[in-house]
């Protein structure tokens, strides 16, 4: 889809009656991200694009960003999210009320997500270079428990990875999402979906199906920066 111009909304998150949401970002509470929660909050103030923070195995970044946004505008829907490392690979939980520990079987993680009234989102399902992409066998076995599939991830290296994800989601009748997977501020404001206002997980799920989106892939060089950040934290922490 052709990129659309970004315009500032001030404190108003709505554009022509819709919300603009980047469905997958990270804060500095992820070990490989350098975006502070305050930078994510300031990006929302500049662009009106809500970043759903899906940090690795923690809700802390998501909590901090949502609290800051709500202090500015209580009408913005609250969606707490976490990218959980299961035994078979990563699964994102949306609308969580409690943090989910890593290392559990994928099926148990999905049960916990749904037990909290949340939605499950399968990130970058056909990305071959990521070490924590959900295993194909688990992806196919658990398809009936997936609420959403990430169709476009701006950090995927190949267009084919996104194409396969969209084909998979469409074939299974699962709505697909669009996310930047941002780990640096350079990646913010480039990707979003336009969904109607919602108050519940089911309303968001309905709004995502067929929603317009804007998507621009990042240069693969961002992965080098991510590796440097992760190495530095592991080495000097």
Each residue's pLDDT tens digit, 63-118: 999 999 999 999 999 999 999 999 999 999 999 999 999 999 999 999 999 999 99
Would you state the torsion angle of the CA atoms of residues 222, 224, 228, 231, taken in this order, to the nearest 10 degrees?
120
- 32, 35, 146, 183, 184 from 231: Cα distances, Å: 8, 16, 32, 14, 15
Give the pLDDT band of residue 234 (cuts 50, 70, 90).
low
| CA nearest neighbour of 122 among 62, 169, 180, 161 | 169
pLDDT at 1 over 50: no
| CA nearest neighbour of 91 among 112, 75, 66, 70 | 112
pLDDT at 223 over 60: no
Q: What's the confidence (pLDDT) of residue 222?
A: 67
End-to-end CA distance of the chain: 42
8 A C-beta contact, residue 32 and residue 55: no
Residues 6+ apart with CB under 8 A from 155: 124, 180, 181, 183, 187, 218, 222, 223
pTM for this prediction: 0.90
pLDDT at 201 over 70: yes
**CATH fold of 14-236, please?**
TIM Barrel (3.20.20)
Backbone CA torsion sign across 47, 67, 39, 79: negative
């Amino acid at each position: 889809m052709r990129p659309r111009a970004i315009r500032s909304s001030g404190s108003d998150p709505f554009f022509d009656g819709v919300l603009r949401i980047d469905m997958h970002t990270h804060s500095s509470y992820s070990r490989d991200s350098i975006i502070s929660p305050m930078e994510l909050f300031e990006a929302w103030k500049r662009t009106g694009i809500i970043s759903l923070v899906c940090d690795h195995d923690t809700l802390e970044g998501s909590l901090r960003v949502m609290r800051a946004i709500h202090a500015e505008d209580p009408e913005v829907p609250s969606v707490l999210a976490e990218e959980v490392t299961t035994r078979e690979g990563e699964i994102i939980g949306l609308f969580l009320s409690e943090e989910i520990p890593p290392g559990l079987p994928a099926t148990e993680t999905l049960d916990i997500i749904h037990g909290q009234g949340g939605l499950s989102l399968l990130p970058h399902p056909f990305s071959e270079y990521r070490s924590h992409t959900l295993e194909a066998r688990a992806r196919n076995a658990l398809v009936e428990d997936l609420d959403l599939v990430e169709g476009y991830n701006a950090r995927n290296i190949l267009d084919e990875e996104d194409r396969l994800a969209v084909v998979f989601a469409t074939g299974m009748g699962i709505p697909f999402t669009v996310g930047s997977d941002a780990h640096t501020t350079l990646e913010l404001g480039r990707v979003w979906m336009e969904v109607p206002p919602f108050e519940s997980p089911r309303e968001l799920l309905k709004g995502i199906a067929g929603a317009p989106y804007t998507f621009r892939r990042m240069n693969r060089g961002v992965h080098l920066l991510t590796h440097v950040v992760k190495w530095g934290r592991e080495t000097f922490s």
